[in-house]
Amino acid sequence: MRRVGCGLLVAMLGLVGFGWGVGAQPVAPPAAFVDAYREPVARILSAATADHAAWRRLATLTDTFGHRLSGSQALEDAIAWSVDQMRRDGFDTVWTDPVKVPKWVRGRESLALVGPRRLDIPMLGLGMSIGTPAEGLEADLLIVSSFADLERRSAEVRGRIVLFNVAYRGYGQTVTYRTNGASQAAQYGAVGVLVRSVGPEGLRTPHTGMLSYRPGVARIPAAAIPVEDAERLARLAESGQTLRVRLSMEARHDADADSANVIAELRGRERPDEIVVVACHFDSWDVGTGASDDGGGCIAAWEAVRLLRQLDLRPRRTVRVVLYTNEENGLRGGLDYRTRYATTLDRHVLMIESDLGVAAPSGFGFSGNDAARAQVTAIASLLGPIGATHIGPSGGGADIGPSVAAARIPAMSPEVDSTKYFVVHHTHADTVDRVDPGDMARHVAALSAMTYVVADMPMRLGETIGTR
Ligand SMILES: [Zn+2]
């Protein structure tokens, strides 16, 4: 599903886009300003794709520390390791900003069909769920296919465990059942909730992820089950059998724990106070090893800037790698950055986040004004050799989101086919084996080249040459 071979179209769009920017200042045609970058970009692309350094570093991260849930020792150990490695890599400054993060602990958990006959069902409690009583929770199962279906059958809900058996229609559309299902069912008296995993068809893999309890509604335990088991239970129920299930979860919340955002800078040679951020989140769920979500994005962002250092490409502006903490169950890292750097957000030229998998990108999604869009479109035209020339209608990421919204900072994310990412995301199967080393190298190449040119170009992104 990669969009390649549309370089001509992109160039045309770039020309059309120019002149739409605010202020109507005359601007250099795209070719003139990007021409100066053909040589350095070619060096970046060839260095990034010369080996599998990024994948190897991701393997080291995930093999050494495993998953990195907020509040875990593994996350803090991985943070300390990254700081040490970044210093060895020769970044100008590496530091950590302390952030207090929620500490949710899964504990032991299980689910079984106990009537009319016994069947153990693979499951993962949803992140931030409460646990069940120590002896577990046994109840009849009510299966619904949507929130509307739940409402229609609301009279049958009391005292039951509700299963939302909702087919996956893309993450954005389906994730509401995981996020809001527990409170929706609890308002009609449900005692527990099961959610058909939010992901494309996998291999009987449950997907965890955060739920959020609505204030004023009883909190009930909730867990995800594989697609295959949801379908089997639905077939059994349709055949008229009364299904009884037993859910046991030790999940609990401990006091907030100490964590940190990691920041590494390559200082700008002319305008060091203007900043381009390349970001990701370093925490993960507590299953698998968080390789695709989002260890890969972190190593890619880090490698993208390390390469500039290695190639002696020091841009005019400062480039900052930010490994955010606590995206999965709190977003405290992203919120801390917004608050801590509030007075310098207006000097953030661009924020890029990679958190949809490190597949080979077809380009970037971008949100910003028309002048900026024309400029990044022109820059992307240099990425033909890796097929990353497309600029999509919007870009961004959860962690950069608070800063981007607060200061209207242009935002970007690599445009990737995320099918593979959503198959393993939040599962035991999110391991480095699912990441293709060559694709990841192209991901790094695109990030590195885009970051370099935006940080180095004569005009600030979104502004025209005559305005500064
Ligand atoms: Zn993520």
Tens-place pLDDT, residues 46-64: 999 999 999 999 999 999 9
Q: With contact defined as beta carbons under 8 Å apart, do 183 and 217 qualify?
A: yes
Q: With contact defined as beta carbons under 8 Å apart, do 276 and 349 qualify?
A: yes
Contacts of 73 (CB under 8 A, 6+ apart): none
Q: Which residues surround ligand 1, an ion (CB under 5 A)?
A: 293-294, 355
Report the length, in residues, of the chain.
Answer: 468
Please report which confidence band the pLDDT of residue 132 belongs to, taking 50, 70 and 90 as the band edges: very high
Q: What is the pLDDT of residue 465?
A: 62
Sequence letter at residue 259: S
Q: What is the pLDDT of residue 393?
A: 97
Q: How many angstroms does the Cα of residue 170 sit away from the middle of ligand 1?
A: 15
Question: How confident is the prediction for the chain on average, in pLDDT?
Answer: 93
Q: What is the pLDDT of residue 201?
A: 83
- Average pLDDT of the residues in 332-361: 98
Report the DSSP beta bridge partners of residue 210.
Answer: 127
- Average pLDDT of the residues in 172-197: 98
Indicate if the pLDDT at residue 17 is higher than 80: no
Q: How many angstroms does the Cα of residue 366 sit away from the middle of ligand 1?
A: 18
Q: How many angstroms does the Cα of residue 279 sit away from the middle of ligand 1?
A: 11
| Alpha carbons 289 and 297: distance in angstroms, whole number | 13
Task: Using a pLDDT cut of 70, give the percent of the chain over it.
Answer: 93
Q: How many angstroms does the Cα of residue 430 sit away from the middle of ligand 1?
A: 11
Indicate if the pLDDT at residue 215 is higher than 50: yes
Q: How many angstroms does the Cα of residue 256 sit away from the middle of ligand 1?
A: 21
Burial class of 235 by CB neighbour count within 10 A (0 to 12, 13 to 18, 19+): exposed
Contacts of 399 (CB under 8 A, 6+ apart): 279, 280, 281, 322, 324, 327, 331, 333, 334, 337, 353, 355
Q: How many angstroms does the Cα of residue 356 sit away from the middle of ligand 1?
A: 7
79-83, 335-339, 463-467: the lowest-pLDDT one: 463-467
Indicate if the pLDDT at residue 3 is higher than 50: no
Indicate if the pLDDT at residue 27 is higher than 90: no
Indicate if the pLDDT at residue 167 is higher than 60: yes
Q: Confirm whether pTM is higher than 0.85.
A: yes
Which one is catalytic: 76, 109, 265, 327? Answer: 327
Q: What is the pLDDT of residue 202?
A: 86
- Catalytic (active site) residue 463: no
